[in-house]
């Protein structure tokens, strides 16, 4: 019998960590990526990666408190056991990255330096300049290159995942490979494997301009969803408070800018057009510091985004009357800023033209991250308290220690597995861990944790002999899957017409742009029922136009227009899941804020939104999405109100004293 193989789709942090872990345990990996893996979207992560550390520990911090912060930050929507396991592994993950040679910033004595980040009062964020994601990705890329040189990894770069090959029916369904397309030659091919790991990232492009990279369409996740995988908490979309609006995208301005002392403010007087340096301290409204004296500028992202949105949109207090606020670092030593934040300050300087060391930056919120994703399961670990614990305070003895296996059972084959056997979801596309809002610097952690911890689960599944090997699946199942994808591509290519009178209504780029504008307007910072219903009608209209799509290029070689147009169809389907989930969740929780239901409703909605695709829906409204609400495992920590100590503040109110807090 041939050696079992695993497939990993996506070469960001999650995919590369999974690849390293799987090949290390003796299984060869076929790694697929639409870009050279070193150019994956993980490079865009800036601020850092969270982990309990020796310094914080001596101040009363613990892995358990990191866990408590993460579930509180996520407004209790995350299943708790996997979160505990992730936070417990964080210090080991930092050590491993350190061994791989990640140039983490250092203290004078040579220890790993730490910075403050949102949602915590402790320094628990490790960083490499302000390009931490890039540095982590490179370290894993180097390890994968090393294994590839030894022949253990077959890297397929510039290959696009098109569909999972799923065999069997009902509960017996399992994934035994994928269909993919070479983006240069346009060849469509099936690849056989015992297991498939989807590590395909987020779906920011559905919102048009976001902080995401161009490949983050959500297309691959949508294809798995359409093939029968469940999609969970789709409506939980994180809007990052500080981004630089641009003509082609919104560039991230890292939370580390606030972690290193950056202050968010607007002039107290509407329309005050003086240069920010000329506006005296008492005429500036530091609205986050005044409303949240405890956390200040480092409240979680959804809160900061809503406050900025409120100041600009509802109160029309934005700088120069525009949708923008100041993010100010000019009170800090320029040399210190260069050392700690050089990379992101250069980005701002390059794209805007001002030097943030001397002129406050102008920023506005932008879509950044999807907490939702493919639904996955897990086997709980050994920590099973008789009753959930209350809020954890610094210095308290943690009710659970950080021994491996407290939260999730190591190596259990169902960890991070979707409802289709053998199909796993790692990293951002895995809905687990972050609940209704992700804390800053937890994304890099969850990606690498999935790869390292759940990678072992993939190996165990591949070696489990209770299922027949993928080799036993008849070749004609793979051939049929290839033919279906070839037919789909042909349909799009045949839409190219010599007629020069091109209708913008059927232009994929026009449809894509309208999709982005609509989704940003209806499904981000502030949502309402009527607006979401309108959004669903707009999406139906866009889908109708999509069915008449006209492609501008029918080349049989390196046809990017085909790739985009095909993904657009899948984005429209996922957009419906996002909008419909938002409509049905009649409460406000974390990043999901409903103006018509402003309160959290644990009784009805402390539930995971689970969507299943019905390909042949024949209901009158042709609704393809069956959405149910599943219980959340809150057996470790009792849900409590998530306030971050908010108090009232008005533009003209005197400043609150923060002394003594």
Catalytic residues: 301
CB-nearer residue toward another protein: 351 or 390: 351
Answer for which of 394, 502, 617, 658 binds another protein (CB under 8 A) is 502
Relative to beta strand 373-374, strand 195-198 is unpaired
* Site membership for another protein, residue 148 (CB under 8 A): yes
CB-nearer residue toward another protein: 546 or 597: 546
* Site membership for another protein, residue 385 (CB under 8 A): no
Residues, the chain, total? 661
Answer for which of 2, 3, 58, 108 binds another protein (CB under 8 A) is 108
CB 444 within 8 A of CB 86: no
Q: Which stretch binds another protein (CB under 8 A): 210-218, 290-298, 435-443, 484-492?
A: 210-218
* CB-CB neighbours of 471 under 10 Å: 12
Q: Least distance to another protein from the beta carbon of 539, Å? A: 19
Answer for which of 126, 251, 268, 585 binds another protein (CB under 8 A) is 251
* Site membership for another protein, residue 28 (CB under 8 A): no
CB-nearer residue toward another protein: 100 or 584: 100
CB 177 within 8 A of CB 478: yes
* Site membership for another protein, residue 104 (CB under 8 A): yes
Q: CA angle at residue 77 from 73 to 80, to 5 degrees?
A: 85
CB-nearer residue toward another protein: 24 or 633: 24
* Site membership for another protein, residue 248 (CB under 8 A): yes
Q: Mind giving me the DSSP string for 509-564? A: HHHHHHHHHHHHHHSSSSB-HHHHHHHHHHHHHHHHHHHT---S---SSS-HHHHH
CB-nearer residue toward another protein: 473 or 561: 561
Collect all residues with Cβ–Cβ distance below 8 Å to 647 and sequence separation of at least 6: 290, 291, 292, 293, 656
Q: Least distance to another protein from the beta carbon of 346, Å? A: 9
Relative to beta strand 625-631, strand 263-267 is unpaired
* CB-CB neighbours of 661 under 10 Å: 10
Q: Which contacts of 285-288 are long-range, i.e. CB under 8 A and separated by 24 or more positions?
A: 285/311, 285/317, 285/649, 285/651, 286/655, 287/311, 287/649, 287/651, 288/264
Answer for which of 560, 604, 628, 643 binds another protein (CB under 8 A) is 560
Answer for which of 8, 9, 18, 20 binds another protein (CB under 8 A) is 20
Q: How far apart are CA 506 and CA 456, in angstroms?
A: 46
Q: Least distance to another protein from the beta carbon of 64, Å? A: 18
* Site membership for another protein, residue 204 (CB under 8 A): no
CB-nearer residue toward another protein: 307 or 450: 450
Instruction: Fill in the per-residue mask, 327 to 366: x = in contact with another protein (CB under 8 A), - = not in contact.
Output: ------------x---x---x--xx---------------
CB-nearer residue toward another protein: 57 or 145: 145
- Considering only residues 162 to 191 of the shown chain, the ones binding another protein according to CB under 8 A are 184
CB-nearer residue toward another protein: 246 or 530: 246
- Considering only residues 440 to 459 of the shown chain, the ones binding another protein according to CB under 8 A are 452
* Site membership for another protein, residue 494 (CB under 8 A): no
- Considering only residues 567 to 586 of the shown chain, the ones binding another protein according to CB under 8 A are none
Q: Mind giving me the DSSP string for 177-237? A: EEEEEETTT--EEEEE-SEEEE-----GGGGSS-SS-TT--SHHHHHHHHTT--EE-TT-E
> Dihedrals φ, ψ of 502, to 5°?
-90, 130
Give strand pairing partners of 32. Answer: 9, 156
Helix or strand (DSSP H, E) at 572: helix 560-584
Q: Least distance to another protein from the beta carbon of 52, Å? A: 14
DSSP SS3 for 461? helix
Answer for which of 26, 59, 60, 107 binds another protein (CB under 8 A) is 107
Answer for which of 66, 115, 124, 249 binds another protein (CB under 8 A) is 249
Answer for which of 138, 369, 424, 605 binds another protein (CB under 8 A) is 138
CB-nearer residue toward another protein: 353 or 654: 353
Q: How far apart are CA 163 and CA 441, in angstroms?
A: 31
Closest C-alpha among 23, 37, 15, 74 to residue 434: 74
Q: Percent helix, strand and coil across the chain, each rounded to 5?
A: 40, 15, 45
Q: Least distance to another protein from the beta carbon of 176, Å? A: 27
- Considering only residues 534 to 553 of the shown chain, the ones binding another protein according to CB under 8 A are 552-553
CB-nearer residue toward another protein: 306 or 368: 368
CB-nearer residue toward another protein: 480 or 552: 552
Place of tokens 């791989």: 100
Number of residues interacting with another protein: please give it, by CB under 8 A. Answer: 72
Q: CA angle at residue 206 from 130 to 610, to 5 degrees?
A: 100
Q: Least distance to another protein from the beta carbon of 56, Å? A: 15
* Site membership for another protein, residue 500 (CB under 8 A): yes
Q: Least distance to another protein from the beta carbon of 650, Å? A: 32
> Is 47 exposed, middle or buried, given 0-12, 13-18 or 19+ CB atoms closer than 10 A?
buried
- Considering only residues 215 to 234 of the shown chain, the ones binding another protein according to CB under 8 A are 215
Termini Cα distance of the chain: 67
Q: Which stretch binds another protein (CB under 8 A): 99-107, 229-237, 377-385, 460-468?
A: 99-107
* Site membership for another protein, residue 96 (CB under 8 A): yes
Q: How far apart are CA 68 and CA 442, in angstroms?
A: 13
CB 50 within 8 A of CB 117: yes
- Considering only residues 33 to 62 of the shown chain, the ones binding another protein according to CB under 8 A are 35-36, 38-41, 43-44
* Site membership for another protein, residue 214 (CB under 8 A): yes
Q: How far apart are CA 45 and CA 444, in angstroms?
A: 8
Instruction: Fill in the per-residue mask, 592 to 631: x = in contact with another protein (CB under 8 A), - = not in contact.
Output: ----------------------------------------
Collect all residues with Cβ–Cβ distance below 8 Å to 650 and sequence separation of at least 6: none
The alpha carbon torsion through 554, 560, 563, 564 (nearest 10 deg) reads -110
Q: Which stretch binds another protein (CB under 8 A): 76-84, 415-423, 464-472, 501-509?
A: 501-509
Answer for which of 59, 95, 331, 503 binds another protein (CB under 8 A) is 95
Q: How far apart are CA 561 and CA 327, in angstroms?
A: 38
- Considering only residues 265 to 324 of the shown chain, the ones binding another protein according to CB under 8 A are none
Answer for which of 57, 105, 473, 488 binds another protein (CB under 8 A) is 105
Answer for which of 28, 55, 57, 98 binds another protein (CB under 8 A) is 98
* CB-CB neighbours of 88 under 10 Å: 29
- Considering only residues 75 to 94 of the shown chain, the ones binding another protein according to CB under 8 A are 92, 94
């Amino acid at each position: 019998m041939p050696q079992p193989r695993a497939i990993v789709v996506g070469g960001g942090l999650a995919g590369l960590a999974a690849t390293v872990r799987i090949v290390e345990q003796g299984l060869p990996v076929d790694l697929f990526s639409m870009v050279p893996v070193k150019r994956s979207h993980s490079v865009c992560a800036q601020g850092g990666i969270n982990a309990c550390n020796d310094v914080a520990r001596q101040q009363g911090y613990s892995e358990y408190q990191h866990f408590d912060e993460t579930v509180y930050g996520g407004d209790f929507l995350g299943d708790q056991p996997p979160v505990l396991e992730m936070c417990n592994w964080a210090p080991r993950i930092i050590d491993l990255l350190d061994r791989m040679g990640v140039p983490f910033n250092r203290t004078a004595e040579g220890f790993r330096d730490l910075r403050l980040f949102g949602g915590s009062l402790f320094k628990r964020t490790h960083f490499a300049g302000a390009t931490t994601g890039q540095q982590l990705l490179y370290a894993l890329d180097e390890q994968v290159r090393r294994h590839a040189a030894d022949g253990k990894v077959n890297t397929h770069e510039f290959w696009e995942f098109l569909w999972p090959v799923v065999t069997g029916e009902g509960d017996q369904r399992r994934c035994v490979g994928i269909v993919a397309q070479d983006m240069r030659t346009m060849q469509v091919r099936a690849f056989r494997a015992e297991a498939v790991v989807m590590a395909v990232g987020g779906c920011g492009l559905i919102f048009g301009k976001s902080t995401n990279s161009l490949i983050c369409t959500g297309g691959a996740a949508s294809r798995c969803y359409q093939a029968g995988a469940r999609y969970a908490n789709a409506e939980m979309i994180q809007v990052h408070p500080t981004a630089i609006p641009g003509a082609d995208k919104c560039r991230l301005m890292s939370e580390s800018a606030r972690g290193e002392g950056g202050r968010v403010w607007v002039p107290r007087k509407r329309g005050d057009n003086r240069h920010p340096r000329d506006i005296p301290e008492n005429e500036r409204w530091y609205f986050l510091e005044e409303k949240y004296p405890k956390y200040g500028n480092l409240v979680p992202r959804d809160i900061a985004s809503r406050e900025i949105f409120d100041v600009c949109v509802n109160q029309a207090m934005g700088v120069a009357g525009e949708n923008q606020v100041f993010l100010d670092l000019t009170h800090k030593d320029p040399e210190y800023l260069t050392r700690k934040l050089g990379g992101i300050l250069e980005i701002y300087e390059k794209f805007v033209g001002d030097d943030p060391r001397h002129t406050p930056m102008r920023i506005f919120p932008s879509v950044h991250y999807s907490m939702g994703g493919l639904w996955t399961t897990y086997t709980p670990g050994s920590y099973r308290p008789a009753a959930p614990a209350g809020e954890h305070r610094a210095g308290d003895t943690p009710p659970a220690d950080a021994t491996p296996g407290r939260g999730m059972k190591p190596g259990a084959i169902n960890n991070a597995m979707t409802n289709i056997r053998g199909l796993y979801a790692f990293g951002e596309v895995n809905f687990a861990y972050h609940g209704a809002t992700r804390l800053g610097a937890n994304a890099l952690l969850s990606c690498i944790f999935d790869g390292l911890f759940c990678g072992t689960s993939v190996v165990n599944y591949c070696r489990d002999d209770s299922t027949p090997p993928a080799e036993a699946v008849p070749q004609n199942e793979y051939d049929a899957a290839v033919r279906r994808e070839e037919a789909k591509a042909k349909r799009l290519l045949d839409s190219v017409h010599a007629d020069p009178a091109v209708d913008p209504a059927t232009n994929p780029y026009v449809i894509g742009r309208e999709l982005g504008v609509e989704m940003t307007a209806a499904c981000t910072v502030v949502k309402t029922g009527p607006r979401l219903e309108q959004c669903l009608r707009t999406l139906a209209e866009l889908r109708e136009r999509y069915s008449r799509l006209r492609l501008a290029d029918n080349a049989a070689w390196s046809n990017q227009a085909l790739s985009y147009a095909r993904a657009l169809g899948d984005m429209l389907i996922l957009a419906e899941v996002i909008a419909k989930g938002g409509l049905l969740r009649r409460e406000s929780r974390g990043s999901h804020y409903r103006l018509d239901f402003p309160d959290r409703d644990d009784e009805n909605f402390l539930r995971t939104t689970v969507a299943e695709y019905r390909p042949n829906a024949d209901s009158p409204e042709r609704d393809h999405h069956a959405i149910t609400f599943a219980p959340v495992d809150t057996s470790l920590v009792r849900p409590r109100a998530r306030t971050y100590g908010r108090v009232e503040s008005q533009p003209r109110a005197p400043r609150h004293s923060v002394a003594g807090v």
